[in-house]
Amino acid sequence: MHIATEKAVTGTVPPALILAAGEGHRLNGVNGDNPKPLTPVLGLTLLERAILSCKEVGVQEFYVVIGYRSHIIVPYLSALEQRLAVPIQPIENPNWREGNGSSALSAASYISCSFFLLMCDHLFDPAILRLLLTAGTNTTDCLLAVDCHTERVFDLDDATKVELDRDVITGIGKEKASFDAVDTGLFLCQPSLFDVLKVAGNRGQHSLSAGLVELIRSREFRAVTIGKRCWFDVDTPKSLGLAKRALLQSLSKPDEDGFVSRYLNRPVSRRISEILVHTPVNPNGISLLSFTVGIIGAAMFCPGGYIWTILAGMVIQLASIVDGCDGEVARLRFQSSKFGGWFDTILDRYGDTAIVAGVSYGYWLSHPYAAVWLGAIFALPGFIMASYTKKEFVIRYQSKPPGGLFGKLIKRDLRVFAIMLGAIVNMPYEIMLLVGLLSHAGIGWILLKGYRQKMVE
Amino acid sequence: MHIATEKAVTGTVPPALILAAGEGHRLNGVNGDNPKPLTPVLGLTLLERAILSCKEVGVQEFYVVIGYRSHIIVPYLSALEQRLAVPIQPIENPNWREGNGSSALSAASYISCSFFLLMCDHLFDPAILRLLLTAGTNTTDCLLAVDCHTERVFDLDDATKVELDRDVITGIGKEKASFDAVDTGLFLCQPSLFDVLKVAGNRGQHSLSAGLVELIRSREFRAVTIGKRCWFDVDTPKSLGLAKRALLQSLSKPDEDGFVSRYLNRPVSRRISEILVHTPVNPNGISLLSFTVGIIGAAMFCPGGYIWTILAGMVIQLASIVDGCDGEVARLRFQSSKFGGWFDTILDRYGDTAIVAGVSYGYWLSHPYAAVWLGAIFALPGFIMASYTKKEFVIRYQSKPPGGLFGKLIKRDLRVFAIMLGAIVNMPYEIMLLVGLLSHAGIGWILLKGYRQKMVE
């Protein structure tokens, strides 16, 4: 399953300035012959991830400061510009060795409005940019997204620390012994940032922090806390590995995943997605793949007999696992779409139909009664309508779907898993009927919730 | 099918002042011993219709001026207040014989904000009140809803005519030879109306029109045109009959109804609804009734044989016709609800399931092959998913569902009708398979539309 991500923030979204000029020597060796910005992370380079994360919240204009091995990055950026259909302006900073403040400053002549400032080696949840945008509507201060959960920051020693007076930033630097939060490297800045960078530069200080110290002096620098949202500074092979793992972990959907999804399907599908993300297959292709495997599994029930039945059970469970990969790959690649989620849903319903047909046919071979088929016709609409009923509840009452045990019981992951278990004990048909019965009960239960909702309206 | 009507306008909606003091002698004889406001029109009295129409757009406070036979209306209003759970303040006007201006004036001490003014003997589309509300947000003028399609006004001689200078009303009265529109009797007024009514009253003129002439003088009286929206002034037995017919006609849903609904089901279901609306059965009860009839029809396919098959076809068609009545009765009685529409949809899907089971069983008796049941399992999800797919399209792309021939072909009215025709030619199973195939094609077609929509996004 894959679901379209939250829509871009409305109104004009500021451009993004991405710093990608440094050498990042600590990653040498793990990223092949690539400069750091082109380090691949689960199918996309660091730079591409930074741009796509911004694009997701509606950024439509990009400035990328380059320096170290820029001759490799320039053609890459121009290819990226074409592929992503967004304007990406490369800005060469010949003095990149001086510090990242000098890199930011080299964009001064390009930007004359508020802008996002980010480091190309930071992976982050795009929701953090939305927090900055929201906080930025009522202020002309420079804003920095900070993480107050310092205990979860990997390599805290190397992190830039932030001292706070409420939301005003009163100190920033790597060496602070006492601090309130950690700098995530995500800013929403005003062009006045360039002025303070100039001031610091004139003093011979070319780091971003040196410029920010000027902002701190005038108390024009404020913090936006990110809560539990994720971000990673990818500096070392170890932090790269951790970031990958966290990215894969984030593919679970705690609110939506059923029992089986969470504890069985996801842990496996994540590993498959980790492979698939490096192939050219797209999410809709994965949906079709899962569907095809499901159809094959359903067909394997037809001959009847224990061996075929048990194999068929395994194959439909495999299809159910692969069914999670389309959404995972889509999210990893920023390819989620309305259509994709819908296509997957409809294929799932046809997959269910095939399973009902296969299981019933296999059972009918040894029980040649019309009742077997009537049972199939009884179970099938339960399978098909369960998810629709839930969805309609959400739409009609504009509230969360009824959760609870019943809500979890009528999910597809559990349905397929139950039939697979049924196959193992050579009772797939009986279990299918039982799951059908539960699905109808679930539909009735959701209807009842709707009826009660109506009463209190 | 019944669908929840548009939600009430947000924000504070003004109270309504309903004039119900006159004698209305021209209706004597057709409304039994009732005073005119209690004349029943398709299950509800004129007064109840006026109040419910206002309630539909969010009016939460009612003032009803009574005069003629008020001793009958007062207890009726207090019962209505309880039943509808809205405050209804009766206002006695002992001088009701003087004119409707004097009746309006008797509410002066009750109302100190803008208010809807309406006549209890007018039936109207609540959307007209919404037009007034929208037009009223930017003005403190008094607003009158007018109908420019004077050719459609029944008994134009008796109608109050309006002269316009753009949207400013420059003349009003029954006797005008030249006029631009007709007064619908629906106003959005300011308390200043009471002042002009006093002025006119002091001159001995106690009609509403006399007061309005004062407003016209100061050019504080404007018209809001109602387009093609419906309204009726119910004065005579003939106009009452016409209003009833128009109300029944308005139950069709030109945008939603399929071919069969429009030309076969609706004309019959309207007649059934006209009867049902006078019974205590509620819309959800009608949904259940239609469902039950459908299940009986489906079961009648089971014995097989031509006689049973043809009878079964008739019964499922009857169920399909009755299926329109729940929504019709709900709309006639202002009982439309989110739950009702949903409940009906789900029952329809179960009804389809029963038909597939019944038809297949009947066919299997003479064709005892597994393929018969596989055909049933093939057709069923087409029936169930067709409407969901359409609905999802609307939700995901926030645009109208794909219309066209395919859109019409996968509707339930046509589905049931086709199977009924199939029963008449003794081929219900074959036709069911064909309709199933068409439904799957329709689902594919809607998906394709979604895919194209995604492309142009």
Say what the pLDDT of residue A156 is.
Answer: 83
Q: What is the mean pLDDT of residues B17-24?
A: 90
Backbone dihedral angles phi then psi of residue A333, each to the nearest 5 degrees:
-105, 10
Using a CB-CB cut-off of 8 Å, the residues of chain A touching B55 are: none
CB pairs under 8 A between A and B: 104
Say what the pLDDT of residue B361 is.
Answer: 97
Q: What is the mean pLDDT of residues B54-80?
A: 94
Say what the pLDDT of residue A364 is.
Answer: 96
Cα separation, A101 vs A96, in Å, equals 9
Say what the pLDDT of residue B6 is.
Answer: 41
Pairing assessment for the beta strands A168-173 and A161-165 based on DSSP bridges: antiparallel
Identify whether the C-beta of residue B327 lies closer than 8 Å to the C-beta of residue B336.
Answer: yes
CATH fourth-level superfamily of A253-456: CDP-alcohol phosphotransferase transmembrane (TM) domain (1.20.120.1760)
Ranges of each domain in chain A: 16-246, 253-456
What does each C-alpha distance from A181 to A123, A129, A155, A228, A347 come to in angstroms? 18, 18, 14, 13, 46
pLDDT tier, A26 (very low <50, low <70, confident <90, very high otherwise): confident
pLDDT in tens, B89-108: 999 999 999 999 999 999 99
Separation in Å, CA of B454 to nearest CA in chain A? 7
Q: What would the two tokens of residue B234 be?
A: 């119910």
Say what the pLDDT of residue B5 is.
Answer: 40
- Which one of A399, A454, A456 makes the best mutation probe of the B interface by having the most chain B beta carbons within 10 Å? A454
Pairwise CB contact (< 8 Å): A346 & B443: yes
Separation in Å, CA of A6 to nearest CA in chain B? 12
Pairwise CB contact (< 8 Å): B361 & A370: yes
pLDDT in tens, B426-454: 999 999 999 999 999 999 999 998 888 76
Using a CB-CB cut-off of 8 Å, the residues of chain A touching B445 are: none
Helices (H), A58-151: 70-84, 100-105, 127-136
| Residues near A420 by beta carbon (within 8 Å), at least 6 away in sequence | A313, A314, A316, A317
Asked if residue A448 has pLDDT above 50, the reply is yes
Pairwise CB contact (< 8 Å): B385 & A346: yes
pLDDT tier, B7 (very low <50, low <70, confident <90, very high otherwise): very low
Say what the pLDDT of residue B9 is.
Answer: 44
Say what the pLDDT of residue A85 is.
Answer: 92
| CA–centroid distance for B189 within its chain | 26
Q: Which CATH architecture has domain B16-246?
A: Alpha-Beta Complex (3.90)
Asked if residue A3 has pLDDT above 50, the reply is no
pLDDT tier, A11 (very low <50, low <70, confident <90, very high otherwise): low
Nearest by CB: B343 against A4, A388, A447: A447
Q: Counting every residue, how long is chain B?
A: 457
Q: What's the mean per-residue pLDDT of chain A?
A: 90
pLDDT in tens, B192-203: 999 999 999 999
pLDDT in tens, B273-325: 999 999 999 999 999 999 999 999 999 999 999 999 999 999 999 999 999 99
Pairwise CB contact (< 8 Å): B353 & A381: yes
Cα separation, B360 vs B356, in Å, equals 6
Pairwise CB contact (< 8 Å): B357 & A374: yes
pLDDT in tens, A337-350: 889 989 999 999 99
Backbone dihedral angles phi then psi of residue B423, each to the nearest 5 degrees:
-65, -40
pLDDT tier, A6 (very low <50, low <70, confident <90, very high otherwise): very low
- Which one of A372, A373, A387, A410 makes the best mutation probe of the B interface by having the most chain B beta carbons within 10 Å? A373
Nearest residue to A244 (alpha-carbon basis) of A290, A268, A277: A277
Nearest by CB: A381 against B350, B360, B443: B350
Nearest by CB: A384 against B381, B395, B450: B381
ipTM score for this prediction = 0.86
Q: Which residues of B touch A (CB under 8 A)?
A: 4, 337-339, 341-343, 345-346, 349-350, 353, 356-357, 360-361, 364, 370, 373-374, 376-378, 380-381, 384-385, 388-389, 391-392, 395-397, 443, 447, 450-451, 453-454
User: Same fold for the domain at B16-246 and the one at B254-456?
Assistant: no
Q: What's the mean per-residue pLDDT of chain B?
A: 90
**What residue of A is the nearest CA neighbor of B344?**
A447
Say what the pLDDT of residue A251 is.
Answer: 83
- Which one of B360, B378, B388 makes the best mutation probe of the A interface by having the most chain A beta carbons within 10 Å? B388
Q: What is the mean pLDDT of residues B213-231?
A: 90
Pairwise CB contact (< 8 Å): B384 & A385: yes
Q: Which of A44-58, A178-192, B236-250 has the lowest mean pLDDT?
A: B236-250
Nearest residue to A414 (alpha-carbon basis) of A442, A378, A444: A442
Segment holding A20, helix H or strand E: strand A16-20
Backbone dihedral angles phi then psi of residue B44, each to the nearest 5 degrees:
-130, 150
| Residues near B275 by beta carbon (within 8 Å), at least 6 away in sequence | none
What DSSP designation does A367 have?
S
Nearest by CB: B377 against A345, A357, A397: A357
Using a CB-CB cut-off of 8 Å, the residues of chain A touching B380 are: 353, 377, 380-381
Pairwise CB contact (< 8 Å): B381 & A337: no
What does each C-alpha distance from A306 to A364, A372, A423, B248 come to in angstroms? 14, 18, 8, 61
CATH fourth-level superfamily of B254-456: CDP-alcohol phosphotransferase transmembrane (TM) domain (1.20.120.1760)
**What residue of A is the nearest CA neighbor of B387?**
A388
Say what the pLDDT of residue A454 is.
Answer: 67
Asked if residue B138 has pLDDT above 50, the reply is yes
pLDDT in tens, B365-416: 999 999 999 999 999 999 999 988 888 888 888 887 777 777 777 889 999 9
Say what the pLDDT of residue B11 is.
Answer: 59
Residue-wise burial string across A98-128, b where 16 or more C-beta atoms lie within 10 A, e elsewhere: bbbbbbbbbbeeebeebbbbbbbbbbbbbbb
pLDDT in tens, A253-284: 777 777 888 889 999 999 999 999 999 999 99
**What residue of A is the nearest CA neighbor of B392?**
A342
**What residue of B is the nearest CA neighbor of A386?**
B346
pLDDT in tens, A295-304: 999 999 999 9
Pairwise CB contact (< 8 Å): A337 & B454: yes
Say what the pLDDT of residue B151 is.
Answer: 84
Say what the pLDDT of residue B454 is.
Answer: 67
Amino acid at A366: S
Nearest by CB: B384 against A341, A376, A384: A384
User: Reduced to 3 states, what is the DSSP secondary structure of residue B402?
Assistant: coil
Say what the pLDDT of residue B456 is.
Answer: 58
Q: What would the two tokens of residue B149 be?
A: 């399609």
pLDDT in tens, A64-122: 999 999 999 999 999 999 999 999 999 999 999 999 999 999 999 999 999 999 999 99
Asked if residue A2 has pLDDT above 60, the reply is no
